[in-house]
Structure 1
Amino acid sequence: MDRDGLAHFLRRRRAALQPEDVGLRPGPRRRTSGLRREDVAALAHMSTDFYTRLEQRRGSRPSEAMVGAIARALRLTLDERDHLLALAGHTPPPRGTRSEHVTPALLRVLDRLDTPAQIVNDLGVTLAQNSLAEALMGAHVGGASVFYRWFTGDPAERALWPPEDHDEHSRRYVAGLRAVHARDEEARAFVATLLRESEEFARLWCEHEVRAPATTRKRIAHPQVGLIELDCQILTAENQTEMLVVFTAAPGSEDAEKLALLGVIGTETFAP
């Protein structure tokens, strides 16, 4: 681990960012021209003390997951992410493979949205969410794939959607995985796991439906605001493994009013 190089790189990258670059408000009393250490720590979901120690060359070696979280918080490119991993004493993953690193361009779009939005990969893993997406669907960054949660009977995942919509969700999820199944070994291994662990998945897999993710309308059974119906738009990154999923409601509609209420409620009272 190169403590000096790691500390210097983190300080330089933090100073190069402004609050609005990562979706934060500048605030009237900011003495730091770039981001503050507590800003980066909050974005990376780690303690300010731990991050501060890294910048002061006093910290313990961060795990690969922590380095990835810091890279996302600092909006690093893939090259910069790999450099940060090397400074922390880790071997960067081979290029061209699926990773938890999010394309900076997608993150910039996510930061500027005032409606629920999240970035997911083609295997259903949530890579980033804004606060409204967490309030709407729960916090899932760093958790299991939505496909895995769904087909292994996670009650919280199933409760989020009206029972009469469950069959369509199952079919859409299976058909979407069919579209990426041949992409790489990780996708094939993931499908094999679901085939072993879910009879429902195995039954639908045999129907051989193929359907890439597409714009649609979704109904969400939210525990605080009740049933809410939203348009779901999907923007796919150039690497084809990342998607920005955006939920919107027609202005002036009851669903738009419920989204506004979610902005007030936030995530504190969210309970599956």
Structure 2
Amino acid sequence: MQAIADMPIEIARHVRVLLCDIDDTLTNEGRLPACAYAALERLTQAGIAVVPITGRPAGWCDMIARLWPVAGVVGENGAFYFAYNENARRMRRVFAIEDSQRTLDREKLQKIRARVLAEVSGAAVSADQLYREADLAIDFSEDVPLLPVAHIDRIKRIFEEEGAVAKISSIHVNGWYGAYDKLTMARRFAAEILDLDIDRDRDRVVFVGDSPNDAPMFGFFPHACGVANVLQFRGRIEAEPAYVTVREGGHGFVEVADRILDARGGRDAA
């Protein structure tokens, strides 16, 4: 991983889309700092399409798509995307799996829920589970004391033993049924909302993340960036970002935004 300051100006100048995780990428200790939100707005005002790609639930994503200065949001690790058309005052909601199958999958996830709570001491169902459409989120650090790595890995194995996909974020283990992830839905969002082929034009896209569930994005985008806290996952992440910031979380995200905006002719006064 190279320092974000070493991202070549010609690469930063040609960025047209910025994809980013939310928890511990835009946030610091669970809070969204004003500087990170301002960076989203500055990027959008500069003509860069900003799209959060998150493990957070549909309920959160509806609000983000409506209220944040973003082009849309991919949620629940790729289960769907939401994009709000301000002129039409209409939300576009696209899911990877049809409604009837999601209902069946949620029933299967209940078995996993029971196993995790019975077999992993200290784990809890995430507080935002009620607002989810497609996955089960197990909390290992957000609203419970941080669990040992062995416990976190055990949660992931339980999902996999039951035939589900499982990914570890900085706060949750998320599991679901279906052949999708952050990258597959980001590809679909780019094609259908941004009219962009990310396989052809991946050099014009930067992804910013912080944890193991961002590995598909880190591995796909050649100019992916990690905020500094990604370094804690060295050795436990399948693919690393090309660049890393000095600071953690939202403050690190601002470093990425500044590098891109400076390359385009300077930041605004914000």
**Do they superpose with TM above 0.5?**
no
Which of the two has greater strand per residue? 2
Which of the two has greater helix per residue? 1
Q: TM-score, normalised by structure 2?
A: 0.27
Q: TM-score, normalised by structure 1?
A: 0.27
